[in-house]
A and B are shown apart, each in its own frame.
Chain A
Amino acid sequence: MSKLKQTLPALAVIAVLLAAWWGTVAATRSVIFPTPWQVVTGTIELVKDGTLWGHIGSSLMRVGLGFGLAVILAVPLGLWMGWVKGAYVTLNPLFQILRPISPIAWIPIAILWFGVGNASPIFLIFISSVFPMIVQTIVGVHTIERRYLRAAENFGVSRYTLFRQVVIPAVLPQVLVGMRIGLGVAWLVVVAAEMIALRSGLGYLIMDSRNAGNRYDLVIAGMIIIGLIGLMLDGGMRVLESHKLVRWRYAH
């Protein structure tokens, strides 16, 4: 009940926005800009002819692959760079230079290297999400409290135990933060990447709807669907944060 109360103001804002949108379109008698209801019917159309699920599936597949590859590389690399000072001073400057480059700036190179197939957007997603995850994992290692490392040293445990029972669990919450950031960026980038030349995905849906007859109802439908899926992905990462392996970090 209190949760409903909390979401009420947010829903009210959205309702007001929808009303203003509807009112403005009606008042200006726009023939191109759709009303909210036209967006709904457009969405139903997409659901009925089955193309919507295809687009969503393609986008999610690309994010899954690009993000997954980034996790596989970033977490071990971040642990290594965090733990071994030499690795950090050697690689960190390079990553600090690469990190601020927008994934969009990589698009020409992606096309050059990987063509206009699936590999290009997967590469762009990888590039966009790998750096925040490396950085966050390094931060995680660097912020392990000394008293825990000293306790491990005191008990004289093996390197394996030190990593498995101290370093990795201590870093895990930061890794999850990095993954949440990385996944958010990945989802942002997949849509942009799909606008280049592919024949599927939500980004393609948006560009195609505009190019093939100014179907702005479908453009907006695509945008809203992107927003909702992004929200769900973030929600999924939040669920991971409540897992017992990392709950200690947020329990105070």
Chain B
Amino acid sequence: MRTKIEIKNIKKSFASDQGLLPVVEGIDFSVGDGEFVAIVGPSGCGKSTLMNIVAGFVQPDEGAVLIDGTARTKPNSKGILISQHGSVFPWLTVQENLMFGLNGHAQLDKSGLADHYAAIVGLKGFEQSYPHELSGGMLKRAEIARALVVKPDILYMDEPFSALDALMSLRIRNEVLRILAEERHTVMLITHDVEEAIHMADRILVLSPRPTRIQASFDVRIPHPRKLTSPEAQELRAAVLRELGVEE
């Protein structure tokens, strides 16, 4: 598998009242092209900081992020970040939101493409709705569709489902997996939900508490569609939880 993302010895500290607070301390890993890597870690360990660095929103103090072998310092539309709180523009309709990222492609049938992706995520018939008219689950679908419509190589997902209820979270996770089976994207998922990671990822990285580094790595070799109740999934879950310091 070709390497898509290469993270080389990333370090990051933030200034605090107690002086310099190291948040990320020497992280190295790479993500293959089309691979789905989930990163789990305790709350406040620096997961989101790591994600912001990889996606290009925050610069590391040391180290570099290479995408396709070239250093990347700024965010761009080849890697779209989907965050917990969502960033669907409330003043644009669903269709306008989906077309937002397509600006600058004059030759494209933007509205057609937008409607196509709205249909893929199950928002057919809501193209002209405003975000405040949608439920939380539909809003998340709109955000995912807006990311997919620009055909990004990489999807950065920072706890994307944690604001949803358990049922909706499961439903949207299944839909994302269905879409990922059709369209190849490299995915980096940050989550605190071990089951979510096992459900979706090819590989799970466990982060240590702050200052964070990679503590363990697990390959998930369970074929899709995955059953979280299966013995191997349960075994993996226990192993990941053990790494996180939780015994069952």
Q: What residues of chain A have their CB less than 8 Å away from a CB belonging to chain B?
A: 147-148, 150-158, 161, 165-166, 169-170, 172, 244-249, 251-252
Given contact pairs A147-B86, A252-B132, A154 touches B75 in the complex (Cβ within 8 A):
yes
Q: From known contacts A155-B150, A165-B100, infer whether A148 and B89 are also in contact, taking CB-CB under 8 Å.
A: yes
* New contact pairs (20) apart from A161-B103, A169-B92, CB-CB < 8 Å: A147-B83, A147-B87, A150-B57, A151-B81, A155-B103, A156-B77, A157-B100, A157-B101, A157-B103, A157-B104, A158-B103, A165-B100, A172-B91, A244-B130, A247-B130, A248-B90, A248-B91, A248-B130, A251-B132, A252-B132
Contact across chains for A248 and B100 when beta carbons are under 8 A apart: no
Contacts of B57 in A (CB 8 A): 150, 153-154
Chain B residues engaging chain A, CB cutoff 8 angstroms = 55, 57, 75-77, 79-81, 83, 85-87, 89-92, 96, 100-101, 103-104, 130-133, 150
Q: How far does the alpha carbon of A251 sit from the alpha carbon of B80 in the complex, in Å? A: 28
Q: A251-B132, A252-B132 are in contact. Are A155 and B77 (CB under 8 A)?
A: yes
Interchain residue pairs with CB less than 8 A apart (20): A147-B87, A150-B57, A150-B87, A154-B55, A154-B57, A154-B77, A155-B77, A155-B101, A156-B76, A157-B101, A157-B104, A158-B103, A161-B104, A165-B92, A165-B103, A247-B130, A247-B132, A248-B130, A248-B131, A251-B132
> Which residues from B are CB-within-8-Å of A158?
103-104
In the bound assembly, the distance between CA atoms of A64 and B150 in angstroms comes to 46
Give bound CA distance, A166 to B92, whole Å.
Answer: 9
In the assembled complex, the CB of A164 is this many whole angstroms from the nearest CB of chain B, namely 9
The answer to whether B89 touches A165 (Cβ under 8 A) is: yes
What residues on A are CB-neighbors of B55 within 8 Å? 154
For B87, give its contact among A151, A161, A165, A251 (CB under 8 Å).
Answer: A151
B42 to chain A, nearest CB (A): 24
What residues of A have a CB within 8 angstroms of the CB of B131 in the complex?
248
- Least CB distance from A16 to B in Å reads 42
With A157-B101, A248-B132, A251-B132 known as contacts, the answer to whether A170 contacts B91 (CB < 8 A) is yes
Q: How far is the CA of A157 from the CA of B77 in the complex (A)?
A: 9
Residues on the A chain within 8 Å of B100, using CB? 152, 155, 157, 161, 165
Q: How far is the CA of A52 from the CA of B80 in the complex (A)?
A: 62
Distance of A172 Cα from B89 Cα, bound (Å): 14
Contact residues in A for B104 (Cβ distance below 8 Å):
157-158, 161
Query: Interface centre among B92, B103, B131, by most A CB within 10 Å?
Result: B103
Q: What's the least CB distance linking A87 to chain B, in Å? A: 24
Q: Which residue on chain A has the smallest CB distance to residue B57?
A: A150
Q: How far is the CA of A153 from the CA of B58 in the complex (A)?
A: 12
Q: Which one of B75, B89, B103, B130 lies within 8 Å of A153 (CB-CB)?
A: B75
List of B residues within 8 angstroms of A169 by Cβ: 89, 91-92
Chain B nearest CB from A204 CB (Å) reads 43
